[in-house]
Amino acid sequence: MRFDAITLFPELFDAVLDYGITRRALDRGLYKFKSWNPRDFTDDPHRTVDDRPYGGGPGMLMLAEPLDRALNAARQDLANEDLTPWVVHFSPRGRPLNQRRVMELKQKSALVLLCGRYEGIDERLLQKRVDEEISLGDFVLSGGELPALALMDALIRQLPGALNDAESAVQDSFSHGLLDCPHYTRPEVWQGMDVPAVLKSGNHAAIAKWRHEESVRLTAALRPDLLDRAQQNEN
């Protein structure tokens, strides 16, 4: 899988590229990453990428032309590897990201992550070049880089070979429509609190039953909307 980021701040992606599971997956060749800075596709000495919005209002908007050129460069580079890009823009108006959509996007061979800044991007560029808009939730961030990092992390951990134990991804929260069950490690007693006896029993069937029941219990208590959706899917 390949990720290309259109971003004014490519160094922010070091958070994924240099640490943990995502770093190991990169070292294993499970995905590729390349960034494209719109400032590199400007013609003026100041490398201008923003301007005031028509109609007035606070803040600045990202210009369409530098972004269009950056997207063209990414598309051409991907074509050299016979890859077709799927362009994602991160916006509060986008489709809420969930595990199901993560698994669908995993089937794409190349994602181009368009990371806006300032008050947003010229609407004409979005209409012409974007395949999908994604939101992390009903709140506003300073730019698209953090949502892009979140999406990359969610996708990379699903790639075969990214996790040392593939079962970890299978048991993640939302993988089966429910929250994950509680987990415990040593010591058996910590500050007067015991590890549930069933987890020490060695009875794998009983442990599996307990974990499922705990997933249902937590989901009902914390995210009843997920439980309703899971039950509807079963029916």
Q: Which listed residue (24, 69, 157, 223) is catalytic?
A: 157
Cα separations (Å) of 47 from 4, 37, 59, 60, 191?
Answer: 21, 11, 18, 15, 58
User: What distance, in Å, lies between the first and last C-alpha atoms of the chain?
Assistant: 34
Asked if 172 is an active-site residue, the reply is: yes
Report the distance separating Cα 167 and Cα 171, nearest Å. 6
The pairing of strands 132-135 and 86-96 is parallel
- Contact 198/206 with Cβ under 8 angstroms? yes
For the beta carbon of residue 211, count every other beta carbon within 10 angstroms. 17
Cβ atoms of 63 and 8 within 8 Å: the answer is no
Q: Is residue 104 annotated as part of the catalytic site, yes or no?
A: no
Q: Exactly one of 10, 172, 217, 223 is catalytic; which is it?
A: 172
Q: What is the DSSP letter of 32?
A: E
Q: Which of 119, 132, 133, 180 is catalytic?
A: 119
d(CA 60, CA 46): 16
| Separation of alpha carbons 20 and 72, rounded Å | 32
**Looking at 52, 92, 123, 131, which residue is catalytic?**
92
Q: Which residues have a catalytic role annotated?
A: 92, 119, 157, 172
